[in-house]
Amino acid sequence: GAGVSQSPSNKVTEKGKDVELRCDPISGHTALYWYRQSLGQGLEFLIYFQGNSAPDKSGLPSDRFSAERTGGSVSTLTIQRTQQEDSAVYLCASSLEPNTEAFFGQGTRLTVV
């Protein structure tokens, strides 16, 4: 595709429900990143995929968060039993190779009510 695509763009969910956020990276990009952007908090690193290597999950805030990347392309971030503090914009980015320019999607705005 022309850029990184994220869906949905907005998601409102009830506390305790599970949500899945999708990211379609730019075709051919080997690196894929998930970040969380909260008001006044900057960008918080969540998880990083690089090729076929084991992902770097060091930023996931709790075991309610998980992510997978199928076939080295599409990635899904899953949040189980959502809490109000999970409300944020979730950003996905991809890059052709590590340490090169990262291209960001428009994000998914998650609101937990």
Partner 1 sequence: GNSVTQMEGPVTLSEEAFLTINCTYTATGYPSLFWYVQYPGEGLQLLLKATKADDKGSNKGFEATYRKETTSFHLEKGSVQVSDSAVYFCALSDLADSGYALNFGKGTSLLVTP
> Residues interacting with partner 1, by CB under 8 A?
4, 31, 33, 35, 40-43, 45, 48, 50, 56, 58-59, 91, 93, 98-99, 101-107
What's the min distance (Å) between Cβ of 17 and partner 1?
Answer: 26
In 3D space, the residue among 7, 6, 21, 28 whose CA is nearest the CA of residue 104 turns out to be 6
Residue 26 or 82: the one with the smaller Cβ distance to partner 1 is 26
Contacts of 74 (CB under 8 A, 6+ apart): 22, 23, 24, 25
Give the whole-angstrom CA distance, residue 104 versus residue 17.
27
**Shortest separation between residue 4's beta carbon and partner 1, angstroms:** 8
* Comparison of 82 and 92: residue with beta carbon closer to partner 1: 92
